Structure formats: C-alpha cells, structure tokens
Structure 1
C-alpha cells in the first residue's frame, strides 16, 4: 500500500499542472475534495454506514484530523507553489517524515525515536535532496517566497499531525474515517475557495475530467489506503511515502514527458531505499518474514 501511494501521489503532480491550466488553485482543491467526499460517503453508506465501532468516540480529534488530512495542506500547497520552485515543494513534502518522528515519539505508544530510525530518515531525506538537485533551493525571486516556503513546510506538518491523530482514534471503520475526513475537509475548503477566489469558474470538459480523476484516485482512493496504513502500521511507517513521491514524480517525468535522465537519479534512489531499510528494518522484516500483524 505504501508503494502504491508513492506511485499515485508521484503521478498527481502531472495532473495538477494540467488542471491548473483551466481552474484556479483553491477551486481545484475544493473540486477534488468535494468529489472525493461524495464518492467516499456513498461507498461508506453502502457498507453499512458505521463509524465508531465501540462506545468510545472522539469527534474533536476526528474533525481536526480531517481538516489537516486534506483541506489545509491542499490550500497551503496551492498557494505556496505559486511562489516557490517545484523542487522546494518536493523537499518540503519529504521533510514530513522528519516532522513525524518527534510527534509520534511523544503521542503514539510504541513509536519511539531510535538511532537507527533517525539515521534512516536522514539518509532518505538526503536522497530526496540529491534527487531534486540544486533547483530545490534556488530562489524564485518572488518577494512572497519566504511565506510560500513556510506554507509548504506547513502542509507537510499538517500531514504529520493528521496521521498522529488518526492513529490515536478509538476503534473506527476505515471507510467511515476516510469519508468523514473528506467531509470535514470539504466543509473548510469550499467556503475558503469562495472567500479567496469568488464563485467557482466554469472549466472546460478536459479540466472537469482531470478534476474528477484527481478526486477519484489520488484523493478518495489514496486517502483510504493512507488511513489503512496509519491504522495498521503506524504514522512513522506511513511517512515513508513522502520519500517516494518525488522519486516517482521524476521517474514518470522521464518516462511520460520525455524529461532528461540524470545519473543522480540512481544515487538518489539508492539513498532513499537505504533510508527506508534502516528506519523500518523491524517492520519490513515482519512484513516479508511472518506477514503483517496489527502492531507491525
């Protein structure tokens, strides 16, 4: 599931670039989250519509995790990427794994910071930096660039916070959790799009299909996989996706868009995979040795 998420979210950047040719950033976020919420709620209701599986409930944490799971980071990234380079956006997303470590150490039982895990995360982050090269820290010259960089780091922090909150929720149906997270996200991002960008534009048919695709696969479908990983293997294991996303984005750019191949890609992939191996040696050995267990 982690590998699938890396591939799906790595391909998402290609479709976002195409969608932004026909729709504004906040309405793109609102469209994909709104469509994904409708789809997820429909599937959840067809499966019985249960949410909390015991008497324990935590609506506050569920609402906050829903906002930080999609709406807030989508808006921060959409705004931030107008003033920063795509390379910096990729590095900022990879930093989510490092942001996750202290949060999980403090708030998730069993997710302690170990020397091997910290070294592995740093090696993986170094791999992402090699992958994106000097362009990651090249200034765009925009006077609002420092705030754009803060917005990108804020988006990565949102994903880390939502992962910890979701892990700490009481027993819950994963389909219901995915649906409600998207519903809470829609409740924020749609009004925000009205306030910031006015009434929704009328996109052309091509743009509407791209928005629908973004809502179906990398938002609704990937959100479900993300929640399953967090609830079963923990937020730190889930954070490994952030290292894969820029790697897949570069690979797909070479394969699909014909972008030039750089030998640094092989070095970067080696560092990223080594970082994953070091930081999650215990979980990976259980995964490929005795199979996945609830506490893997």
Structure 2
C-alpha cells in the first residue's frame, strides 16, 4: 500500500526543474541585456550559490572540492554559457530541438560510465520526445548559425556528462548544500572569462533585475535542487526524459507572451513529448501493469488472484 502512490512523487518534484527552465528563452529575450551570455550566466549562478553557502554553512571536504568544480562546470558553468550563446544565436525552435536530444546523450553516457542500461521504453521515449519537440518548435525557414549550433550541441554534452557524474559519485551531504557548491563553482569559473571576453558589466534596469532574480532563484536554485533530487532517486535516463517538458513550457509561454501561433502540429508535438516522457518512466509503466491485474482481480476474484491480506493488502 505504501509503494503504490509513491511512483509519481519523485517525477513530480523533478518536473519543477524543466518547468522553470522552460522560462529561460522568454526571460532572456524579453528582460535580460542583449548579447551578454557570459555575464548572464555568472549572475544566474554565483549570487544564488553564495547565498546557499551562507545559509548552509558547509564547505566541501577532500575530493569534493574538485568534484564540485567539475560538476559545477559541466552542469551549470559551461552549460549556462553555451546555452545563452545558443539562445542568442539560434532561433528558439532550433535550439530547443538540439537540446531535446539530451536524454539520449545521458542514456549513452550512463551506459558507458556507470553501467546503467538504457531501457527500450527510455530509448523510444527519447526518440519520440525529440520528434515531438521538433514538431512543436522547429520551423522550416529556421536559419542555422554554425556557432549557435555548436554551442547547443556542447551544452547537451556538458550537461549530460555532469548529470551522469553526479549519479556516479555518492553525495556526501544534502542536495541543497551540494547545489550551492556547484553554483558557486560555476560562477567563479565563469567570472574571469566573462570579464575578459565581455568587459565591464552592463547597466541594469528594474526589468533586468527582475529577470535575473527569477532565473537565479527559481530557474536555477530551486530548479537544480529539484533536478538533483530526481537524479539521486531515479535512473539518469528517466530523469533526463522529464527535461523534455522544458520546450513544452517554452512554447506555451511563447503563445501567451509573444502571441505565437499554436495549431494542430504543435498540439501533436505536445502529445508526443508528454507521451515520450511517460514511456520512459519505469515506475509509471510498472504502476500501469500493477493497475491492470488489480482491476481484473476485483472483477473475477479467485484464490490465486486475491491472496491473504498480509501479502496483498489492496485486495
């Protein structure tokens, strides 16, 4: 009885992350300073990371100094920088389609680095979800900027490596503290690079400050804490598939904020994405399989179908 309702709890917490990340493109385009991807990445990571460090008052020990640096660079620092470059240089639909391949990249690296075998449902879900994202956001007239495309591919690879390493290395403390370590490391890595490449920081108005607050607190601090929750409790592949909710949220925001068109193709794309996410969740499929025999046993109770209360309390 205790296990039956639990299958959805971890995915439900995890999905907070891609929902928050789905606002990135809209907030970047509408509220943040133009053409400053590295500055935006620093401001998104460093203040929130330092705030968490002050609140938790726990520093890494031993090997977790360099591990935090590696994880922070892969999952946040390098990823943020490349993501912002892709967001500035590519049409949103093309960038989202490339990054939608992240679940397949995570599954491949998880198989290589931690021996986590990809399930048929996971692979089918990844392919279906990627096709759904392409149908949802990709436009035939989208122009391809080589630098932006390489940035999007690099972001996928960087994040996938970081997520799998997080699964490989047993965490030494709570998730919020680890999130603070990684955000701080990411910000410190990016800070000198941003200063050299982009020069002095731009002036910020109230709109920009509000955008950074949203991306920092909700789109980064809260989102990564929820995402790491999923990575530590679910398989890397099934967690990565939940990330496909990101472009769905981004598309819906585009409809609401920018009055973008939403027709039959987009509706089919949403259905494919959500279907792919569910198909790749072993816990959800197990719940469906349990539900079927349970209903049949209620319709035609037999000694075999309805054991004692101690062995099957739901009968």
Both proteins in one fold, TM over 0.5: yes
Correspondences of 1:170-209 after superposition (within 5 Å): 170-173=170-173, 174-209=175-210
| Structure 2 counterpart of 1:246 | 247
Q: Which of 73, 83, 101 matches 1:77? A: 83
Q: Does 1:114 align with 2:119?
A: yes
Contact kept? 2:118, 2:237, Cα under 8 Å? no
Bigger shift: residues 167-176 or 187-196: 167-176
Contact 1:127/1:271, CA 8 A, preserved across alignment: yes
In 1, the alpha carbon distance for the partners of 2:35 and 2:209 equals 9
CA distance in 2, matches of 1:268, 1:23: 30
Once the two structures are TM-superposed, the CA of residue 86 in structure 1 deviates from its matched residue by 1.5
Q: Are the equivalent residues in 1 in contact too, given 2:97–2:134 (CA < 8 A)?
A: yes
Which range moved further: 181-190 or 248-257?
Answer: 248-257
CA pair 134-22 structure 1, distance change in 2 beyond 3 A: closer
State the alpha-carbon separation in 1 of the partners of residues 203 and 229 from structure 2. Answer: 35
2:147 aligns with 147
CA distance in 2 between counterparts of 1:203 and 1:23 reads 14
Question: Structure 1 190/131 Cα, relative in aligned 2: closer, same or farther at 3 Å?
Answer: same
**Deviations along 1:15-55, whole A, 9 cap, x unmatched?**
1112334672221111111221122213322xxx2757xxx
Offset of residue 65 of structure 1: 1.0
**Structure 2 stretches lacking a partner, 5+ long:** 1-12, 292-315
Deviations 1:129-175 (A, max 9, x none): 1111334x7225xxxx2232011110011111110111111232212
Mapping for residues 228-247 of structure 1, pairs under 5 Å:
228-247=229-248
Q: Tell me, yes or no, if structure 1 residue 5 matches structure 2 residue 17.
A: yes
Contact 1:23 1:203 in 2 (8 A): no
Please show how residues 12-91 of structure 1 align to structure 2 within 5 Å.
Answer: 12-21=24-33, 24-45=36-57, 49=58, 57-91=63-97
Distance in 1 between the 2:228 and 2:108 partners?
A: 20
Q: d(CA) in 1 for partners of 2:35 and 2:55?
A: 28
Say how many residue pairs are matched.
Answer: 277
Q: 1:225 to 1:16 in 2, by over 3 A?
A: same
**RMSD (Å) for aligned C-alpha atoms:** 2.3
1:131 matched residue in structure 2: 136
- Contact 1:118/1:279 (<8 A) preserved: yes
Query: How many angstroms does 1:57 deviate by?
Result: 4.5
